[in-house]
Amino acid sequence: MSFRAVSDLRLQGELPLYEGQLDDFNFHDEMVERLDSAKASMLRYKNLSFKDAQPYDAKLSPYDIGPWAIAYLVHKTSPNVLLDIFYPNIAKLGWVKTFKLAFGMSPTEFEKEFMKFIKLTTEEQTKIL
């Protein structure tokens, strides 16, 4: 969500470049860079799962795979699903029930489906952006 927000604000001229920054933030390029990193990890370490995505772990960074998991969920549902359904319900329903409510599947079902998506070509994957 933050990648998209920064990109949109920059494109609208509402968020200036920081002094000394050489180039502008590009949502598509940032997402492809993270995808490439996640795919490299998944090739290097077979049978990785979301449980393996830990901060500061050399195997699979949640900062690489996470934005793609969110992008995929948003693509399958709606642009406002996180703000309208997921976040408002998580405290009262808990994470798993809220996930099912917002995305129409269990986290386990999502992971199986997403791992198939992550094996597609970059060209096929970036179409959801």
Q: Give the pLDDT score at 16.
A: 76
Query: Identity (one letter) of the amino acid at 92?
Result: K
User: Per-domain residue ranges for the chain?
Assistant: 26-126
Residues 6+ apart with CB under 8 A from 32: 122, 126
Mean pLDDT of 89-118: 97
Q: Give the pLDDT score at 27.
A: 85
**Whole-angstrom Cα Rg for the chain:** 16
The two three-digit tokens of residue 129, written as one number: 């952006």
* d(C-alpha 32, C-alpha 38), whole Å: 10
| pLDDT bracket for residue 2 (50, 70, 90) | confident
If you average pLDDT over each of 12-16, 37-41, 98-102, which comes out highest? 98-102
How many of the other CB atoms lie within 10 Å of CB of 34? 19
